[in-house]
Structure 1
Amino acid sequence: MSAHARVDTVKHAEVTPEAPQPWAELGLKEDEYARIREILGRRPTGAELAMYSVMWSEHCSYKSSKVHLAQFGEKAPATDALLVGIGENAGVVDIGQGYAVTFKVESHNHPSYIEPYQGAATGIGGIVRDILAMGARPVAVMDPLRFGAADHPDTRRVLPGVVAGIGGYGNCLGLPNIGGEVVFDPCYQGNPLVNALCVGVMRHEDIHLAKASGTGNRVILYGARTGGDGIGGVSVLASETFDDAGKPAKRPAVQVGDPFQEKLLIECTLEIFAEKLVAGIQDLGGAGLSCATSELASAGSGGMRIDLDAVPLRDSSLSPEEILMSESQERMCAVVAPENVERFLAVCAKWDVIATVIGAVTDGDRLEIHWRGEQIVDVPPRTVAHEGPVYRRPFARPAWQDALQADDPAGLPRPADGDELRDHVLAVASSPNQASKSWITDQYDRYVLGNTVLSQPEDSGMIRVDATTNLGVAIATDGNGRYAKLDPYTGAQLALAESYRNVAATGARPLAVTDCLNFGSPEDPAVMWQFAEATRGLADACQVLGTPVTGGNVSLYNQTGDAAIHPTPVVGVLGVIDDVTRRTPMAFATEGQLLHLLGDTADELGGSAWAQVVHGHLGGLPPRVDLERERLLAEILLAASRDGMIDAAHDLSDGGLVQAVVESCLKGGHGARLVVPDGLTPFTFLFSESAGRALVAVPRSEEVRFTDMCAARGLPTARVGVVTGEAVEVQGQFTLGLGELRAAVDATLPALFG
């Protein structure tokens, strides 16, 4: 209905119990609609139905996943570092010297397929506001991305828009993009994964939470005006049900971003924090005002009354339902004591940010919303925000899992001689997943603000937090959907292990985890089994490694027809480094450095890059996980970095040892001569993807001290080569010049995407 048609009030709902309502079109199930009627003791108004529909959606309520996500709390390792955990806009960890860091990863998958530029841009904008709402200054972003086959025409439509959206929004905000991933696989055709991470820094005393307490405190909406974009973005195109003639209103489901408005909002909010003008704050993201008002009221100690007429609009035709559901960007909601309202509004005016008092905290226990003098919402806020449906969906190991695991790549033809081995190395290194991503990352500003210490293609991004002491943090994201398809429990643990290892390889101590769990339809028992196994695996691994999950995101229904994406748990790990000048880069930069392989190498090629690139094969079991070995490896890498025993380090993962050698040689501009250790074939030595391993470059003067430390701690190490020349040479097998390598790995993405 239009804004000027009859409004469905609470009084009207009470006397028209049988009025038909579009609950199914709004994505609600019949029993969910019945539950809403039971909660209210009547049918909901149109506005109430709109609120419940978006807040009870999978995106907002986690109704299919929360029974499994509970493990992250139940199994959380004890740590003094965690200041704010799951349940707030983002987790917060103590990094010492009075500093705290908040970080979180979220998805914007479906919008980015529909409208790649705006979908990706507003994904960055939303995660930045989550970080801002915690009281922190955002300092960096990252972007774990997954696309369909690299040579598919639709990938050429989606990827350039996504990359331009991330770069356009982040660059305009003045935030460096310090890391992420780009992975291609046919399973993501039609379902790209656009995950976005942001990290922010604050002092301990600056932490803010999303709650509305203090009777009489005012509720202030500030930022951009509310428009018709993004309505139903987290559930369905809900505006279709609100048209007078029963026709689709055709409002866009994808939000439209304005990074310059967001930059003003950031600076305005930080000044408001500095002057201690807010009692509670929430950003407006998924579900818009429906989310902000219900979550603030639910987490507070009283009720809330909102006058919807006061909301500044950029489209006067919006109905109350549409105003409540709009996901227009660059908006925040603050709870402010009456004596601070004038100053709050003055700060907003200084930054040219629209700010309007839209309501107040009450001494009741209801969320009440009025429109043009009539009450259109009267609900218990917890039932909207925190007491939605909880599903224990059936799950079962799929019938095809055994056959997939039995299809071991051990039977695939392997290189017959050195020449063929050379060809395979070149093929893997220049494949879209392993090739240089500079065509993408060069579109991002990686060094703005002047505190970027490490960025792509390093193992982890690193940011300096304090210019005086050089305190810093490192962040890495990882996730191998091929491993998780073979074994979702192990695959999730491998994602954590790789991210943990990447952080340690740069010299930072891993502290905490955020995750973005991307899966197919929860209504498919096979997908639900993958989800259950992955969450169990991640929770178990976090417990062993001592890295609590601080928060994250679940993205379901990533599938086309019956074809789901590979289960793709993306795991972000944040670590702390006392002195960023002691960081360990990945580049082999000095002639004569000795190359040592840390960890054990086995013939593990299930889900490997070699099997995918050379044979188009996916089958077998992923590499085994030894979490205690991962912990020991990290301790060795940290000690060696701190004490100056190593000049470079690179974790071993996709593509195996030879891929790490290629990347480190090209980054440093020096070649390497490798010698195959006893007990390994050249093929296994080069391409195995055994976990718990790293390659380090050790100065000759430090080799004895380094190997003695490894021996004393029980970590296997073997000298496997030396940094020298201008080629990657495997003694007795082949030589591959750096010029040829560089030309091959640099050419792949430009040839595909221009």
Structure 2
Amino acid sequence: MPLADSDHELVVAELGREPTPAEAALFENLWSEHCAYRSSRPLLSAFDSEGEQVVVGPGDDAAVVALPGEEETYITMGIESHNHPSYVDPFDGAATGVGGIVRDTLSMGAYPIALADSLYFGAFDREHARYLFEGVVEGISHYGNCIGVPTVTGSVAFHNDYEGNPLVNVACIGLVEDPERMVTAQAQEPGNALVLVGNATGRDGLGGASFASEDLSEDAETEDRPAVQVGDPYTEKLLIEANEHLLDESLVESARDLGAAGLGGASSEMVAKAGLGARIELDEVHQREPNMSGLEILLSESQERMCYEVEPENVDRVAEIAERYDLGCSVIGEVTEGNYVCTDNGETLVDVDAEFLGEGAPMNDLAMDDPAEPARELPDLDTKSGVEAVLSSPNTASKQWVYRQYDHEVQTRTARRPGDDAAILAVREAGVGLAFSSGADPNWTDAAPYEGARAVALENATNIAAKGATPLAAVNCLNGGNPEKSDVYGGFGGIVDGLADMCSDLETPVVGGNVSLYNDSPSGPIPPTPTLAVVGTKAGYDSPPLELSGDGELLLVGDKALVGEATPGLGGSELLAQFGGTDTFPTLPEDPGVLIETIAEVANDDATLATHDVSHGGLAVALAEMVTGEAGATVEVSGEGSPAELLFHEQPGRVVIETTDPEAVEEAFDGVAPVSRLGNATADGTLSLSAGEMTVHLDADTVADYRSTIEDALS
């Protein structure tokens, strides 16, 4: 993708001359949508990123957040997308997405302790969508398992509009036990050396940043394969341990992962942040392939590489540590007070102002259309058929086929495993439990971008609260189609505002994120997709399970429809995805912050036996998921709306609670949210569900059969 004419004119005006071919290519990549956020940055000021817990906010490789507790302990949070590469090469595209977010964690001085993956594919009944799905899951599991970082949570969604452009969003949490070990990506001092550590540089991934900033073509799987990086998790594991060693000896002044635009992107951004320059000798870079040009070395996105700023007297020690871990090491230049200069065998290829290179891209001023309000057109629904269809949908079916491929026990921190509302990690260094939830629902944001994004934020917060934690901070990955289309950009603007408004209502700072636009293909744009990864904290590591015990009474918190205070909207529901139709989106709670705090408080009560959020698929799916071979429930539902509406509307912010003290639950939520008594848990392993004149009896085996759609198709 050549440098646009308008950009070329700006560069010529700044330089006072024509750019060299290397300079033009560098500007093309660093001024791409992928790197410069030219269409999204004007919208991102909507997010509140401040809070007393926020140590480093947006703009670095990862955010840094302080945990509560007596000991000063930090976590890092980061998220990134690897969407286009995962379409072209699902295994390597997804694997290198994991590798990249882990190295972003390393560059802040943190040790990676958990991963979350949120994945979006075309309709599950399409062979190509299943091919991509299988390859992506295999790539994530291979890389994460090999480097010893547990994948503990995430989400999977299927929607027709991802057929030509799947999404792979990966989040990582890191741990900084000692704040003195923290580093950033901002260069510190002229005269310090720049040292490249890790894999040798090859020709893979050339032009990856510009590739990620354009729509996928029909021939992308063959034509764009050279733009996909190839991962080596065993080298990444060595790099993780070497990074720890370098930090232990205080040898790192600043660091940057080599991701988009390779060495050119990492080294120029390091010095630009400090208003400094650098001199890079490209011929000093250790290389995997012969006869690489200076431009190839500059823009290669070969994986498992880090750029460190090192004081001159420590360079030899860094080289010794790299050798100990069998990693390549090159002293490639130094930080300066002048321009950003790159040479190759004495020839100057690049000589530009680093700040202009990194921050000079003009922002786009694009037209934005508001989405139309949906009409209410509901199909004739047989509620019993609805139960079977929704329970069997790949969107609400069990995702065990996915997460059983991930090692979620490595590092021995996982106190609540995948398959529940949120994972719980034991951060023993701070004495706290860290809850972790990640995901989005494209049905919601396709139906109503603004309200759907608000629902995504609330649902992730509810996942955390249901396990007894309160939100601490969040990062987002905002995925959209071609922003030059006004309707697409309008939907993207809606998810930005919706996510920002709900996170503000929840008093949860959004401390970082990633934007991926131009997720468009000949089959059309993707739905606007706001993946949110949220962490929360709680005292201790115990949390109520999702599964029923069989000994308590069942209550539903937060559903106004059951008490006659609202009409349930089926907009964005899996029921309508299965049977067709449109409807308004469900009304969300008026004071979500207090609701989330109260849910967490009740979840931690000794009388609480089980908790489960109600969202995707509605109440019928939530109850079915809670049934085990040894515990079931007898439930009767009534209220404003038809049985199908009551059972399948997907308003988030609702929780089913099994408790031995229902009066205490009602008292806790008095004035906060309505509480409805659903019935009792039983010891017979059967769900007896009544709504109006309809009654369904499902034993645990039948529920498992319905929910085994993915397993049955792929085993």
TM-score bracket, shorter-length normalisation = over 0.9
Which residue is 2:200 aligned to? 225
Which residue is 1:451 aligned to? 413
Matched residue count: 694
Aligned with 1:580: secondary structure?
coil
Aligned with 2:518: secondary structure?
coil
Q: CA deviation at 1:679?
A: 5.0
Letter of the structure 2 residue corresponding to residue 607 of structure 1: G
1: CA distance, partners of 2:593 / 2:181: 32
1: CA distance, partners of 2:607 / 2:225: 60
Among residues 320, 327, 346, which one is paired with 1:373 in the alignment?
A: 346
Is 1:413 paired with 2:380? yes
The answer (yes or no) to whether the contact 2:29–2:207 under 8 Å persists in 1 is yes
Q: CA deviation at 1:431?
A: 1.1
Q: CA deviation at 1:305?
A: 0.7
The answer (yes or no) to whether the contact 1:45–1:376 under 8 Å persists in 2 is yes
Q: CA deviation at 1:553?
A: 0.8
Among residues 77, 85, 90, which one is paired with 2:57 in the alignment?
A: 85
Which residue is 1:43 aligned to? 18
The answer (yes or no) to whether the contact 2:153–2:423 under 8 Å persists in 1 is yes
Gap change, CA 1:37 and 1:202, over 3 Å in 2: same
Q: CA deviation at 1:46?
A: 1.4
Which residue is 1:245 aligned to? none
Query: RMSD between aligned alpha carbons?
Result: 1.9
Gap change, CA 1:251 and 1:714, over 3 Å in 2: closer
Is 1:717 paired with 2:691? no
Q: CA deviation at 1:562?
A: 6.9
Is 1:342 paired with 2:323? no
Q: CA deviation at 1:470?
A: 4.1
Which residue is 1:418 aligned to? none
Letter of the structure 2 residue corresponding to residue 425 of structure 1: V
Among residues 572, 576, 580, which one is paired with 1:616 in the alignment?
A: 580
Q: When the two structures are superposed, what TM-score results if normalisation uses the length of structure 2? A: 0.94
2: CA distance, partners of 1:207 / 1:511: 20
Residue pairs, 1:162-181, within 5 angstroms:
162-181=136-155
The answer (yes or no) to whether the contact 2:164–2:523 under 8 Å persists in 1 is no
Is 1:384 paired with 2:348? no
Which residue is 1:352 aligned to? 326
Gap change, CA 1:236 and 1:634, over 3 Å in 2: closer
Which residue is 1:235 aligned to? 210
Q: CA deviation at 1:643?
A: 3.2
Q: Which moved more, 1:429-438 or 1:539-548?
A: 539-548
Is 1:742 paired with 2:704? yes
Which residue is 1:18 aligned to? none
Which residue is 1:729 aligned to? 688
Aligned with 2:161: secondary structure?
helix
Which residue is 1:21 aligned to? none
The answer (yes or no) to whether the contact 1:598–1:695 under 8 Å persists in 2 is yes
Aligned with 2:535: secondary structure?
strand
Q: Which moved more, 1:262-271 or 1:294-303?
A: 294-303
**Deviation digits for residues 710-753 of structure 1, max 9, x if unmatched?**
22x4321121121112211024612111111112212x113322
2: CA distance, partners of 1:751 / 1:166: 21
The answer (yes or no) to whether the contact 2:550–2:630 under 8 Å persists in 1 is no
Residue pairs, 1:452-467, within 5 angstroms:
452-466=414-428
Gap change, CA 1:45 and 1:366, over 3 Å in 2: same
**Deviation digits for residues 136-165 of structure 1, max 9, x if unmatched?**
100011110000010112112211111100
Residue pairs, 1:266-665, within 5 angstroms:
266-362=240-336, 364-397=337-370, 401-402=372-373, 405-406=374-375, 408-409=376-377, 411-415=378-382, 421-466=383-428, 470-561=431-522, 563-581=524-542, 583-588=543-548, 590-599=549-558, 600-601=560-561, 602-613=567-578, 615-617=579-581, 619-626=582-589, 628=591, 630-665=592-627
Q: Which moved more, 1:448-457 or 1:635-644?
A: 635-644
**Deviation digits for residues 610-646 of structure 1, max 9, x if unmatched?**
1112x134x2322222351x22221112212333231
The answer (yes or no) to whether the contact 2:477–2:530 under 8 Å persists in 1 is yes
Letter of the structure 2 residue corresponding to residue 584 of structure 1: P
The answer (yes or no) to whether the contact 1:142–1:180 under 8 Å persists in 2 is yes
Among residues 52, 58, 70, which one is paired with 2:33 in the alignment?
A: 58
The answer (yes or no) to whether the contact 2:275–2:355 under 8 Å persists in 1 is no
Is 1:33 paired with 2:8? yes
Letter of the structure 2 residue corresponding to residue 727 of structure 1: T
Aligned with 1:546: secondary structure?
coil
The answer (yes or no) to whether the contact 2:276–2:354 under 8 Å persists in 1 is no
Letter of the structure 1 residue corresponding to residue 187 of structure 2: A
Aligned with 2:451: secondary structure?
helix
**Deviation digits for residues 17-67 of structure 1, max 9, x if unmatched?**
xxxxxxxx43x2110111111111111111111111110111000011110
Q: CA deviation at 1:251?
A: 7.4
Gap change, CA 1:519 and 1:677, over 3 Å in 2: same
2: CA distance, partners of 1:273 / 1:635: 38
Aligned with 2:637: secondary structure?
coil
Aligned with 1:370: secondary structure?
strand
Letter of the structure 1 residue corresponding to residue 387 of structure 2: V
Q: CA deviation at 1:669?
A: 4.1
Aligned with 2:210: secondary structure?
coil
The answer (yes or no) to whether the contact 2:246–2:321 under 8 Å persists in 1 is yes
**Deviation digits for residues 412-448 of structure 1, max 9, x if unmatched?**
2122xxxxx3332122111111111111111111111
Q: CA deviation at 1:680?
A: 5.7
Which residue is 2:564 aligned to? none
Letter of the structure 2 residue corresponding to residue 68 of structure 1: L
1: CA distance, partners of 2:89 / 2:569: 40
2: CA distance, partners of 1:332 / 1:324: 14
Aligned with 1:477: secondary structure?
strand
2: CA distance, partners of 1:192 / 1:251: 16
Q: Which moved more, 1:560-569 or 1:262-271?
A: 560-569
Which residue is 1:19 aligned to? none
The answer (yes or no) to whether the contact 2:386–2:644 under 8 Å persists in 1 is no
2: CA distance, partners of 1:561 / 1:333: 38
Aligned with 2:527: secondary structure?
coil
Q: Which moved more, 1:185-194 or 1:635-644?
A: 635-644
Q: CA deviation at 1:317?
A: 2.2
Is 1:708 paired with 2:667? yes
Q: CA deviation at 1:330?
A: 0.2
Letter of the structure 2 residue corresponding to residue 663 of structure 1: E
Which residue is 2:216 aligned to? none
**Deviation digits for residues 141-192 of structure 1, max 9, x if unmatched?**
1110000010112112211111100000000011111111111111100110
Gap change, CA 1:251 and 1:478, over 3 Å in 2: closer
Gap change, CA 1:249 and 1:380, over 3 Å in 2: farther
Gap change, CA 1:717 and 1:272, over 3 Å in 2: same
Letter of the structure 2 residue corresponding to residue 394 of structure 1: A
The answer (yes or no) to whether the contact 1:213–1:301 under 8 Å persists in 2 is no
Residue pairs, 1:144-183, within 5 angstroms:
144-183=118-157
Letter of the structure 1 residue corresponding to residue 513 of structure 2: G
Letter of the structure 2 residue corresponding to residue 387 of structure 1: G
Residue pairs, 1:128-139, within 5 angstroms:
128-139=102-113
Q: CA deviation at 1:681?
A: 4.5
Aligned with 1:235: secondary structure?
helix
1: CA distance, partners of 2:148 / 2:623: 33
The answer (yes or no) to whether the contact 1:633–1:693 under 8 Å persists in 2 is no
Letter of the structure 2 residue corresponding to residue 597 of structure 1: L
The answer (yes or no) to whether the contact 2:480–2:492 under 8 Å persists in 1 is yes
